[in-house]
Amino acid sequence: MARTARVERNTNETRISASVDLDGSGVYEVATGIGFLDHMLEQLSRHSLIDLTVRAEGDLHIDDHHTTEDSGYAVGSAIAQALGERRGITRYGSCLLPMDEALTRVAIDLSGRPYLSWGVSFPTQKVGTFDTELFMEWFRAFAQAAGATLHVDNLKGENSHHIVETCFKGLARALRAAVEIDPRKADAVPSTKGALRSD
């Protein structure tokens, strides 16, 4: 069965569509209107091997907040839908991701219980014109919508661009491991409860 999904999220602030193929090859088409966010979502796709399409129109004349946050919700929702009952998945994934002087640890549990632990700070308030505080909003929205327990901890780093890129690439590699089908239990939900959900 194809593990694909497409979602649309339309509000007075944003109009976003997102589609994923969990068993893809890292093909992406991303256009949010925010260049740096596009670059990070492209990294997410490329390094997770999840095919990803994101189209967004948002109130960028105000700021980047709503488009950033809502794109996290849309991508997370698409992944949750593509996972379905989460039957057969490895469920857990982690990555220690270096990039030059930056080093970030990301761990994920596709438990159905959304939670974000964010241990990341940035030496600058912006990367280009993008507010670095918005990265936490993207990760929080993603974890909420995907039904994921997500821990992101930057261990070292001096360059804000490098730090955030390690966060997205680390998420990509952790997610790649977590969504993989475990061939020894491909028909089973990876929980003694028999279900992975938020209640």
CA atoms within 13 Å, Cβ hemisphere of 162: 14
Q: What is the pLDDT of residues 79-132, one digit of tens each?
A: 999 999 999 999 999 999 999 999 999 999 999 999 999 999 999 999 999 999
Cα dist. 132→50, 128, 160, 164 in Å? 25, 10, 8, 8
Give the global pTM.
Answer: 0.94
**CATH classification for the domain delimited by 4-179, as one of 3.40.640.10, 3.30.70.2190, 3.60.70.12, 3.30.230.40:** 3.30.230.40
Q: What is the pLDDT of residues 13-27, one digit of tens each?
A: 999 999 999 999 999
Output the pLDDT for position 199.
Answer: 42
What's the pLDDT band for 198 if we cut at 50, 70, 90?
very low
- Locate all alpha helices (DSSP H) within the chain, ordered by sequence: 35-48, 65-83, 134-146, 160-179
Q: Provide the residue ranges of all domains of the chain, joining segments of one domain with +.
A: 4-179
For 93-117, give the DSSP string. Answer: EEEEEEETTEEEEEEEE-SS--EEE
d(CA 96, CA 105): 4
pLDDT per position as a tens digit, 27-40: 999 999 999 999 99
